[in-house]
Amino acid sequence: MPEAVSGADEQLVCLMNQYERPLYNFLLAVVRNNDVALDCAQDTFLRAYQHLKRGKQVNGAWLYTVARNRAMDEFRQKRRTQADPEVLDQIPVHEPTDHVLAVQSILAEMSPADREVLYLFDVAGFKTDEIGAMLGVRGTAIRQRLSRARERFRVLYGAEA
């Protein structure tokens, strides 16, 4: 077992090297809160470690699924995801340009479901069927949600412009 544990340690470090930043940014885009994103990311990697210790495989899709479910738990419990007018100030942006602030504002106005599907498709690069597998819904539902999210983004961006 020590060898397995050691292997799990190494695999976890590799996963963190590869997915720590994108996963944290995904969570940040969804939950819009630094502390919540941090907690969700930590729980995700700790669960990944337990998964690895049992000899199971962990990939990017698994990490995004666990992270997304963890974020949805936060929304369901509404613990720290209440509407905050200063939420944009909590997002650390190194060089806040106009378009960055505009996009952040649009994302803040969108629903978490729309945000996550947009981010997973456009930024994380998952296909709609993969996102459906992550979220436990059919790919057709994800395609409809993605189309709706894009229209919502389009309207909000037009208003921002």
Partner 1 sequence: MKQHDQFAEMLARRAELTPAEDARLTEHLTHCSQCRHTAEAYNRQTTLLRSLPEVVPPPALRATVLTGIATPAASRARWVFPLPFFAPLVAVAAALLIVGVALLHHANGGLHTAIAPVASPTAGEIVRQPTAPPVPHTGGSIKRHRPTPHGGATSVQSGAGPRATNAPAPTYSSGGNVALGATVPGPVPSTPIGALPLPTAISLGVAGRVNVPLAPTVPAFGPVNGHPTAVPYKPAVPHKPAVPLPTIAIPPNAPPTVAMPPGAPAPVPTATSGPIKVSRVAPSPTPTSLSTVTPVAPPTFGPAFSVPATPTPTLTAAVAVPAPTVTSTPPVP
Contact residues toward partner 1 (CB under 8 A) are 8-9, 12, 16, 20-22, 24-25, 28-29, 34, 38, 41-42, 45-46, 49-50, 91-95, 99-100, 102-104, 118-119, 121-123, 127-128, 143-144, 146-147, 149-151, 153-154, 157
Smallest distance, Å, CB 85 to partner 1? 20
Smallest distance, Å, CB 120 to partner 1? 11
Contacts of 95 (CB under 8 A, 6+ apart): none
- Token output for 71: 């974020």
Q: Which is nearer to partner 1, 20 or 109 (CB)?
A: 20
Smallest distance, Å, CB 121 to partner 1? 7
Distance of CA 73 to CAs 28, 57, 113, Å? 15, 24, 13
Contacts of 43 (CB under 8 A, 6+ apart): 66, 70
Q: Which is nearer to partner 1, 81 or 145 (CB)?
A: 145
Packed helices 60-77 and 2-31: angle between N→C axes, nearest 10 degrees? 50
Smallest distance, Å, CB 34 to partner 1? 8
Q: What is the separation of C-alpha 10 from the centre of its chain, rounded to a whole number of angstroms?
A: 24
